[in-house]
Amino acid sequence: MTDLDQKINTFFPGLVVRKDLVKTVKGNAIVPSYVLEYLLGQYCATNDEASIQTGIETVKEILLKHYVHRNEAGLVRSNIKERGRYKVIDKISVALNDKADVYEAEFANLGIKKVLVDSGTVKVHPKLLVSGVWCIADIEYEFTENTNTSPWILSTLKPIQLSHFDFEGYVEARKQFTTDEWIDLLIQSIGFNPDLFGKRSKLMQLIRLIPFCERNYNLIELGPKGTGKSHIYSEFSPHGILLSGGEVTVPKLFVNNASGKVGLVGYWDVVAFDEFAGKQKRVDKSLVDIMKNYMANKSFSRGVETLGAEASMVFVGNTQHTVPYMLKHSDLFEELPSKFYDSAFLDRIHFYIPGWEVDIIRGEMFSSGYGFVVDYLAEILRAFRSRDYSDRYKEQFSLSSDISTRDKDGINKTFSGLMKILFPHNEATTQEVEELLKFAIEGRKRVKDQLMRIDSTYSTVQFIYFDSSNHFKSVTTLEEEEYPHYYHRIADETSIEDAVLADNSLQATSVSQNATVLTNVDLKEKHLTFQENQRGVSFETLFGSYLQGVKRVIVTDPYIRLFYQVRNFMELLETIVKYKNCEEEVSVHLVTAEDDFKGTQQQEYFQRIRESCSTVGIDFTWKFDESGTIHARHILTDHGWKILLDRGLDIFQHYDMNDAFAFTNRLQQFRACKAFEITYVKDQVLKD
C-alpha cells in the first residue's frame, strides 16, 4: 500500500475499500457499483490481505446465491417454492393497486409481480414508488387456490444503502489530510488513479459530485464520447437516477395531474439526463417551460397547486465537433435539441463542464488504491445538502457588481459545493479559496459567454473579482485563451474547409493569451504562462524559432530519467532536426541526474539516442551531475538565448504512449498540458 492508503485506513477504518475489488467480485452481475461496494464494505473494509481474500469469497458467494440473473430467474423462483423462503438481491419497485387498496411490488430480474407490501414499508422507503430501489429481500412462497391472491409474500426488505454515519467524525478525520491528499482520496473513491490526473482535471471530476451535496444545482457537461460523463449518476449513489436517452415526460418528472403523484424530482437528490445532446430529439415544449421555472425557482406548477422540490438537474451529452469548429460556426451548446437550445433555459445552468478537457477513459486510469465505500460518501454528501458554504470567500474576496444575480447564484452554488467536498472542516487557505472561486466563475462564464452568442439581448459581462486590497482580477475560460480569434467572434457561415484549416493552425498560432506567432522577426524576451489542460502546445511552437540556425545547444534538466521523460527529450531533438539545415550539424549536450535505481537503463536510452542522432546530423552527448544540486531547468543556445523552464520538458499530462493510432501519441498539440511557465531571456553564455 502507498503512504496515502495507509493513512486512509488509519483515519477511516471500516469505511474504505480497495477499489479494484469491485471488478474482482462483479463477474456478470449487472448491478451498480454502490451495490457491490455495499457488500464489500460489509466484508472487505480492511487493509488485512487475508481478511480481504476471505471477504471477497464471501461476497462472491452472496452474489452467486442471492443475486438474481434474468436468465436464471426460473431457477430462483423454484428455489423459493421448494425452500419456502429465500433471500434475493434485486431491483424492486412498488405501485398502488387502487382497486384492491394495496401496495404491490415488482421484482425486475426475478420477474414476479403483485407481491404484497405493507404500508409501513412504503412510508419508510418512498423511492420504491418511483423507479425502483436495489434491495436485499426475503421472499416466501405460499400456494393458494384463490386465483386473485399472489403466492409470493415479501417477508423483509432492506434497501442497499448505509443506515447511519458519524458526520462529525468525518469532519475531524478530514483535518488529518493535506489538501492534495484529500483530493487524491476522493479521486480514488470515485475509482480513478489520481497519479494520472492533473489538479484541474481532478477538480473537473469532483464538480460532478456537487449535485449530490448542493440542492437545486443545475449542471451540464458536453464533450466527446467515452469520458465517463454518466458514470457518476448511474453507479455512484443510491440518491441519484440516470434517465437514458434524455427523453422524459412532464408527469414522470414533475407531477401526474390525473393521479396527483409527484414525479422524480420529489424523490431523488439528483436527476440526470443521459444522451441529452442531439438536435433531432423530440422534446415537449411544455416540459422545457416547466423545467425553466423549476430550475430558476425550485418549484413547479400544474393546475392550481404549486409544489417545491430539491432535486439537482444534470445534463450530459456528446459533442460532434472540435471546440474551434463550434466556436467558429456556432457555439458550445450547438448539439442540444432545438427546444432546449433556448437562452432562458440555458441561463439557468450554474456550471458548464468542458467535456473536451476530460480524458477518454482507459483501463490504466482505474485505481487499485483505497477509497471511501461510495455509499458512505454518498450519505456524507447528502448530509451537506442542508448546509450553505457559499459565503466562505466573502471575507477575502468580492464579486464585481457587473455580475448579475443569476450569475452570482451559479458562482456561489458551485463554490459552496466545492468547499463542502474539499474543505468540510472550513480550513482552506486564502490561496485555496481563490482557486475554487476562480474555477466556479469560469464555469458560469462559459455559460454566459455562449448565451451572448445565442441571444443578442444579453449584454457583455466582465467576470471580475476583488481581493481584500481591492485589486481586481479577471477570469477567462481556457478555450478563450486557446482560441481568442474565434471565442469573441459572432458565429458566421464560413466554410467547413476554413474550420479545418483553423484546427491545423494550432501548430503555428499562439497558445497563450499574451503570445503571438513565433517567427524569426518575433524573437524577443518574454514570459508565457500556460494553464492545466491547455492544448495546442508543442515544442515547435515553444522552441522552434529560437532553435533556427543553432550550432550548439545545452539542455539542463535533472529529470530526464524515466522512459516518458527521455521520450520528451527525444521529441526536443526531433524539433531541432526539423529546424536545422540538412547539410549542417548541431551539437546537443544534456546535463541531468542519474536515476538511483534505473541508472543502467537510463544510460541505455541515451546510448540508443546517440546512435540514432548520428544518422541525422546531431552530435548528442550527456553528463550526469554528481553533486546532486542542480534544480534549475533551461535550454541554452549558441546564438545567445536562454529558455527557462519551470517544469523542464515535462509539460504534457499522461497519455497513452502505446496507442499508435492516437493523435495525442503522434502530435504534441493534441495533448493536454500541465500548468507551466516559460521565460525567454537574451543570454551571452554560449555566444562567445
Q: Is 259 helix (H, G, I), strand (E, B) or coil?
A: coil
* H or E, element range at 408: helix 405-422
Q: Are residues 350 and 483 in the same domain?
A: no
Q: Beta strand 312-318 with 270-273: parallel, antiparallel or unpaired?
A: parallel
Q: Give the CATH number for residue 655.
A: 3.30.870.30
Are residues 112 and 173 part of one domain?
Answer: no
Q: Has residue 46 been placed in a domain? A: no
pLDDT at 517: 36
Comparison of pLDDT for 210 and 509, the residue scoring more: 210
Q: Is the pLDDT of residue 683 over 90?
A: no
In a domain, 89, yes or no: yes
In a domain, 52, yes or no: no
Q: What is the DSSP letter of 673?
A: B
Same domain, 129 and 240: no
Residue 518 scores a pLDDT above 50: no
CATH number, domain with residue 357: 3.40.50
Q: What band does 163 get if pLDDT is binned at 50, 70 and 90?
A: low
pLDDT band at 502 (very low <50, low <70, confident <90, very high): very low
CATH of the domain at 102: 2.40.50
Which of residues 362, 380, 398 is at a domain's end?
380
| Cβ atoms 255, 284 nearer than 8 A | no
Grid cell, residue 547, equals: 532553435
Q: What is the pLDDT of residue 19?
A: 92
* Final residue in a domain of this structure, among 140, 159, 178: 159
Q: What pLDDT shows up at residue 489?
A: 64
Residue 687 has pLDDT above 60, yes or no: no
* Whether residue 143 has pLDDT greater than 90: no
List CB contacts of 446: < 8 A, sequence separation 6 or more. Answer: 332, 352, 354, 477, 479
What's residue 500's pLDDT?
38
Question: pLDDT digits over 619-644, tens only?
Answer: 999 999 887 778 889 999 998 999 99
* Confidence grade of residue 260 (pLDDT, cut at 50, 70, 90): confident
Whether 350 and 427 share a structural domain = no
Q: What is the pLDDT of residue 106?
A: 93
Answer for the pair 539, 571: CB distance below 8 angstroms, yes or no.
Answer: yes
Contact 19, 371 (CB under 8 A): yes
**Region 417-424: what's the mean pLDDT?**
98
Tell whether 145 is covered by a domain: yes
Q: Using 50, 70 and 90 to split pLDDT, how confident is the model at 70? A: confident
Q: Kindly state whether residues 531 and 440 are assigned to the same domain.
A: no
Cα separation values, 25 from 72, 108, 307, Å: 19, 21, 43
635 lies in some domain: yes
Higher pLDDT, 538 or 260: 538
Q: Is there a domain that residue 327 lies in?
A: yes
How is residue 397 written as a grid cell? 474576496
Instruction: Summarize the confidence of residues 94-123 as an average pLDDT.
Output: 90
CA gap 480, 406 in Å, rounded: 22
Whether 151 and 207 map to the same domain: the answer is: no
Please compute the mean of the pLDDT values over residues 499-512 and round it to a whole number: 40
The pLDDT score that the predictor gives to residue 24 is 86
Residue located via cell numbers 534538466: 557
Cα 227 off chain centre by: 8
Q: What is the pLDDT of residue 219?
A: 98
Q: What is the mean pLDDT of the chain?
A: 89
Is the pLDDT confidence value at 11 over 90?
A: yes
Burial class (CB in 10 A: 0-12, 13-18, 19+), 598: middle
Do residues 175 and 216 both lie within one domain? yes
The angle, 0 to 180 degrees and rounded to 10, between the axes of the packed helices 179-190 and 405-422 is 90
Residue 95 or residue 420, greater confidence: 420
Percent of the chain with pLDDT over 70: 93
Q: Closest by alpha carbon to 241, among 256, 230, 254?
A: 230
Helices in 614-668 by DSSP H: which ranges?
A: 663-666
Give the DSSP letter string of 526-580: EEEEE-TT--S--HHHHHHHHHTT-SEEEEE-S---SHHHHHHHHHHHHHHHHHS
pLDDT digits (tens, 9 = 90+) for 439-468: 999 999 999 999 999 998 998 899 999 999
Length of the chain: 688
Average confidence (pLDDT) over 680-686: 78
Q: Which of 99-113, 158-172, 402-416 has the highest mean pLDDT?
A: 402-416
**pLDDT at residue 498 above 90?**
no
Question: What pLDDT shows up at residue 496?
Answer: 38
Closest CA to 440 of 176, 596, 219: 219
Averaged over 390-399, what is the pLDDT? 96
Cα–Cα nearest to 342, from 383, 398, 293: 293
| 348 shares a domain with 224 | yes
What is the percent of the chain where pLDDT is above 90?
A: 65
pLDDT bucket at 14, cuts 50 / 70 / 90:
confident
Q: Residues 549-580: pLDDT tens digits?
A: 999 999 999 999 999 999 999 999 999 999 99
Query: Within this chain, do residues 435 and 533 fall inside the same structural domain, yes or no?
Result: no
Q: Is there a single domain that holds both residue 427 and residue 289?
A: no
Give tens-digit pLDDT for 18-62.
999 988 888 777 788 888 888 888 888 888 888 899 999 999 998
Q: Which residues pair with 645 in a beta bridge?
A: 678
Q: Are 196 and 654 in contact (CB under 8 A)?
A: yes
The tally of domains found in the chain comes to: 4
Round to whole Å and give the CA distance between 113 and 105. Answer: 6
Does residue 546 share a domain with residue 440?
no
Task: Name the residue range of residue 426's domain.
Answer: 388-487
Segment 77-96 shows an average pLDDT of 92
Assigned domain for 47 exists: no
Query: Whole-angstrom Cα distance, residue 333 to residue 341?
Result: 7
pLDDT at 520: 44
pLDDT at 522: 62
- Domain end, chosen from 131, 159, 187, is at 159
Residue 515 has pLDDT above 60, yes or no: no
| 215 and 286 within one domain | yes
C-alpha cell recorded at residue 643: 529558455
> Is residue 50 one of the residues assigned to a domain?
no
For the chain, how are helix, strand and coil distributed in percent, rounded to 5?
40, 20, 40
